[in-house]
A and B are shown apart, each in its own frame.
Chain A
Amino acid sequence: MATLREKYPLQNSKPIKKTISGGLLIILCFLIFSITLFANASVGIIRTILYLIPLLLLLIIICKYIFEVYYMKLYFYDMSQKNLIIRKGVFSRNEITLPINRLQDVYVDQDILDRMFGLYDVHVSSATIISGNLSHIDGLNKKDAEEVKKLILSGIHKENE
């Protein structure tokens, strides 16, 4: 039987979106850092190092993209009759198992970059904050996000009968 991940896969544009959202912050930090250091640098070796910063930036962004591709590859989610399982992480891995009868809500949202790439995030949570942080499936298309939401809701309603 196909898992939820196989039936409703994440979109290929997700790693690009994550690279841009993470990369923007890295670029900003490095620009501020290098401008500040460059303005105060009096030693030749520091100036030499600073010329290498654009190369370093590029390397970081490439590494970030490769990381996001692996992150998406290892991202797993499935739903049985009783439990919803979500597993994430490349180096350190977290797997949360939520019994369907403990789920409190389901919602779908998009941040600004999601809207640019046509991605949707499905969030579920039990009555704890940490579940809200861990239990989301992000990077679905609109149709799949709606289907996953309906599936989880129908599971919740069945448990309540």
Chain B
Amino acid sequence: MAQIFHPSTNTLSKVSIFGGVFFVLGGLWLASALNRSSYVTQAGVVRAQPVAFGHKHHVAGLGIDCRYCHTSVEEAAFAGIPSTKTCMTCHSQIWTEAPMLEPVRAAFRADASIAWTRVHDLPDFAYFDHSLHLAKGIGCVSCHGQVDQMPLAWREHSLNMEWCLSCHREPERYVRPPSEVFNMNYAPERPQIEVGPELVRELHIKGRTNCSACHR
């Protein structure tokens, strides 16, 4: 009786079995890599806005404090975005004719909203509180990046849960004195490895990782 399978079948079957395992693992790796990629997370992607507002110009160039526009950041979960009237406090005096600002003036005249595109948008089942993070010494930069260096705003980090947890598990790596939270260029005087644990103790930082800390 003739041989049914050619001897090379042995090699083929071994390769396909191991190849299959690698294929599955590779698929899983690809999926998780995709999930962390900036294609999905939108990290680093500059968002188009109705008015090309430059944080770099307003913060680094003019030295306007974060809280001038994001007024409720110290007292509420939501930092707040400025009303059209806030823009017009300055722009009724300067650049009053600039064509770039026409959408702002139009909205002001009509008492209408400017529909900005959200740059930092958590899923609706995650409840983040700005005020508490500021009170506990987490600076704006820690999550939002060097906003003062962004001509147009983008999302600095993935805002994935694992990214949140990286700080909640080790807050000492990121904490700073509450007086420095709005400082875009803060650098600790002593190494963070010494300052961090002290601040965690001082500020009674719990670094909660239980579910209901963020999910309700």
Q: Do A and B come from one complex?
A: no
Residues of A within 8 A of B (CB): none
